[in-house]
Amino acid sequence: MRTGIANLPMHWGKAPRWLFSRMEKLAREITIAIIEEFGSHEMLVRLSDPYWFQAFGCVLGYDWHSSGLTTVTCGALKEGIKGLEKDLNFFVAGGKGRTSRKTPKEIEYWGEKVSISVNPEKLIYASRMSAKVDSTAVQDGYQLYHHNFFFTMNGTWAVVQQGMNIKSRNARRYHWMSEKFTDFVNEPQSAICDDRKLTNVLNLTSPQSTNSRKVISEISKEKPDKILKEYKKITTLSLPRREWIERDDMLPKNLEKVLLSTYETQPEKFEDLLGVYGVGPKSIRALTLIAELAFGTKADWKDPVKYSFAHGGKDGYPYPVDKETYDKSIDLLKKAIKRAKIQRSEKNNALMKLNNF
């Protein structure tokens, strides 16, 4: 399930080598300490928590509020545990930009090297579908450019991925955790956290979009000629004034191409439709609008963000501070740092940063 979202301002540039090399060491030792104490599954759980991940990145020494915290922290973790993956039963695939597209091959590589309890193809599917959901089923204006897939030999996994919004100069980070996972497209998130709600967000994972998902899936299986005839009937209607529906989305030539592909594939359900090669945000938006105008099924256009605090607020909003969870988060990081086999000065600096955070 998706476990959270973090909104961050875009920062350009690279982490200096002198800092990144230290981040690798500290990330490695903290990971070793947590896995020795609690097991590799706990590391997945922690990484899937947007607030713990944020604290982890701050402890490593990166800017506390920037988009770079995501990419640099994941990169330092991946490099830091190189050579220890089998011993730790903890594997990292993917990364930023082009590296993110290597995720399937990296999962396949480990599938050949170690004994994973599930078919690696299932992990590859989970990686691909988590990205498809956050870029196509939920359309909030952020284009994914970073994707890390963490997994263990028993087949449990977590995802940390980030999207970019050029216009607002913001990044949005998405977290997933396979535990208790039931459905990729029906409210997969246990929490979506942000400080603000966006407007005109197409959310096809919402329970309010259940009928839309069904109708969209049925439309995709019809012959293109039939759907294009329906489209011609509705072109004379006034389209809703929505930022995410553009005129180009509704051009017959664009629709015909994707409908031919989906007609040949005959997807059984909405999740299968998302998995069809070539079906992207514009295709889904066009089918969503046809489903609404031709068949009366309305999708949910509300941003799925629900709350913005990990442990509550001092004024009781959105709920009182959960002291027990708050203290547990701090104690776990402190214990990991104290057990880390690094120089005393670097350890003290990390503890100071954690205390300040």
Percent of the chain with pLDDT over 70: 76
Pairing of strands 202-203, 91-96: unpaired
Q: Is the pLDDT of residue 109 over 70?
A: yes
Distances (CA, A) of 266 to 129, 219, 351: 18, 10, 55
Q: pLDDT: is 330 or 46 the higher one?
A: 46
Q: Over range 97-126, report the average pLDDT.
A: 95
Q: Give the lowest-confidence range in 16-20, 60-64, 179-183, 311-315.
A: 311-315
| Cα–Cα distance for residue pair 26/32, rounded to 1 Å | 10
pLDDT digits (tens, 9 = 90+) for 22-32: 888 889 988 99
Instruction: Rank 132-146, 186-200, 226-240, 275-289 by mean pLDDT and report only the highest.
Output: 132-146
In this prediction, residue 240 carries a pLDDT of: 52
**pTM beyond cutoff 0.75:** yes
Average pLDDT for the chain: 81
Position 69 confidence tier, pLDDT thresholds 50, 70, 90: confident
Domain segments of the chain as ranges = 2-196+306-356, 207-295
Residue 17, pLDDT above cutoff 70: yes
